[in-house]
Structure 1
Amino acid sequence: MAARILRKNAVLAAALVCAGATALTGCGDGDSDEAFAGQSADAIAAEAVKATRDADSVRITGTSRAQGAPAAVKTEFRVDEKDNCLGTLSMNDAKADVRQAGQNVYVRGNERFWQNALQGRPGTDTVVDRLQGKWVKSEPGDKSTQGMCDKQALLAAMDSDKSERDGMRRGAVTEVDGEDALTLTKQQADGEKLTLYVATEGDPYILKAVSEGGEQPGETLFSDYNEKVEVEQPPAGEVVDPKTVAANG
Structure 2
Amino acid sequence: MRSEKGGDEAFGDKSADTIAADAVKATRDAKSLRVSGNARQPGGNEIGIDFHVDEQDRCTGTMTGEGAQADVLQVGQQVYVRGDEKFWRNTLLGKPGTDAVVGKLQGKWVKSEPGKSGTEGMCDKQALLASLDSDKSERKGMKKGGTTEIDGRSALALEKKQPGGEKITMYVATEGEPYILKAVTVGGDAPGEVVLSDFDKKVDVQEPAGGDVVDPEKTAA
Scaled by the length of structure 1, the TM-score of the pair is: 0.81
Task: Tell me, yes or no, if the aligned pair for 1:56 and 1:80 is still in contact at 8 Å.
Answer: yes
Give the root-mean-square deviation of aligned CA atoms. 1.9
Cα pair distance change 1:68/1:163, threshold 3 Å: closer
Contact 1:59 1:79 in 2 (8 A): yes
Q: What is the CA-CA distance between 1:94 and the residue it aligns to?
A: 1.4
Distance across 1 between alignment mates of 2:42 and 2:129: 23
CA–CA distance in 1 between the matches of 2:7 and 2:202? 35
Q: Deviations over 1:17-40 (max 9, x none)?
A: xxxxxxxxxxxxxx9971211010
Q: Does 1:37 align with 2:7?
A: no
Query: 1:116 maps to which residue?
Result: 90
Tell me how far apart the structure 1 counterparts of residues 187 and 134 of structure 2 sit (CA, whole Å). 21
Deviation, 1:177, is 1.0
Question: How many corresponding residue pairs?
Answer: 216
CA separation of 1:144/1:116 partners in 2, compared to 1, >3 Å: closer, same or farther?
Answer: closer
Contact 1:138 1:145 in 2 (8 A): no
- Partner of residue 63, structure 1: 38
Distance 1:140 1:215, change over 3 A: closer
For residues 117 and 89 of structure 2, the distance between their equivalents in structure 1, rounded to whole angstroms, comes to 20
More strand by share: 2
Q: For residue 132 of structure 1, what is the aligned residue in structure 2? A: 106
Runs (5+) with no aligned partner, structure 1: 1-30
- Are residue 47 (structure 1) and residue 34 (structure 2) matched? no
Say if 1:224 and 1:102 are closer, same or farther in 2 by CA, change over 3 A: same
Give 1:156 shift: 2.8
CA spacing shift, 1:213–1:58, aligned 2, 3 Å: same
Runs of 4 or more, structure 1, over 2 Å off, are 66-69, 139-148, 156-162
Q: Where do 5+ consecutive residues of structure 2 fail to align?
A: 1-5
Alignment pair present for 1:211 and 2:185: yes
For 2:131 and 2:93, the matched residues in 1 are separated by: 29
| Cα deviations by residue, 1:63-96 (Å, 9 ceiling, x for unpaired) | 1122442x52211010001010001011364111
What TM-score do the two structures reach when normalised by structure 2? 0.91
Match of 1:91 among 57, 65, 70: 65
| SS class of match (1:158) | coil
Match of 2:194, as an amino acid? T
From 172, 178, 194, the equivalent of 1:220 is 194
One-letter amino acid of the counterpart of residue 225, structure 1? F
> Once structures 1 and 2 are overlaid, which stretch shifts more, 154-163 or 48-57?
154-163
Q: 1:159–1:94: structure 2 CA closer, same or farther, 3 Å change rule?
A: closer
Structure 2 counterparts to residues 162-241 of structure 1, below 5 A? 162-241=136-215
Moved more, 236-245 or 45-54: 236-245
Q: 1:118 to 1:142 in 2, by over 3 A?
A: closer
Give the Cα separation in 2 of the matches to 1:219 and 1:62. 6
